[in-house]
Amino acid sequence: MLNSSARSRLLALALAFALLTPAGVALAQAPAAVELHQPANLGDLKRELHRYHDGGDYDRDLAAVAGAAQAYVEARAGQVAKPALVLDIDETSLSNWPQIVANDFGYIPGGACSLPKGPCGSHAWERSARAVAIAPTLALFNAAKAKGVSVFFITGRDETERAATARNLRRAGYRGWARLVMRPSGSSTPSAADYKAPQRARIEAQGFTIVANMGDQPSDLAGGHAERTFLLPNPFYRIP
């Protein structure tokens, strides 16, 4: 005959076994497989973006695209009259990574820029002229100039930031560009392409052949007026 202590242990074992029976098995299983339509988790995506940027893949991808652009520009430079290269600035020629991280991948246009913890207002950051060069783009810039190619910057930055932007480009190592084209103060377009493509057409109207146009947004490249386009990686933000 079982004593009270043994009966208690036996009862506990029976209850534990019950959890593994069909009636209780759901308590020990993962959630049921139900088809969901939600996008990827934002927190997971942010961690993946940090790994992509900091782990070397981003730099390798930048170098691959800019290297292909450089090979094409160098090959075409002596084959056309007045060859030209068009470059975007943000995340193409200059890196805004400290500001991006400080804002946790959000866009904060106004206010002061407090680094490293943030927030960092976009306009304050740009006026500080502290962005560093994207090295493969700077190499492309210098190689193009060595081949007699005129380099034009076309940026979505406002005309009021011209002095700071030119100062930042020079500090980062860009010297001797043909023109810095900036968006007229207070203007806006549904897409950056609606502003940038006509600017490239104006360059062509002056007799230049734009052999390559490189940017980090599809809207930097849309609208034609370039022999070849080169899209740099930028999973950090999108500009229509």
Q: Which residue, among 92, 100, 82, 97, has the nearest Cα to 141 in the 3D structure?
A: 92
3-state SS assignment for residue 182: strand
Is the CB of residue 201 less than 8 Å from the CB of residue 195?
no
Spatial separation of the C-alpha atoms in residues 140 and 175, rounded to whole Å: 13
CATH architecture of the domain 42-95+132-231 equals 3-Layer(aba) Sandwich (3.40)
> How is the chain split into domains, by residue range?
42-95+132-231, 97-130
Segment 82-134, tens digit of pLDDT = 999 999 999 999 999 999 999 999 999 999 999 999 999 999 999 999 999 99
Mean pLDDT of 15-33: 57
Q: Which residue, among 167, 143, 175, 170, has the nearest Cα to 74 in the 3D structure?
A: 143
93, burial (CB in 10 Å: exposed 0-12, middle 13-18, buried 19+): buried
Answer whether 0.75 is exceeded by the pTM: yes
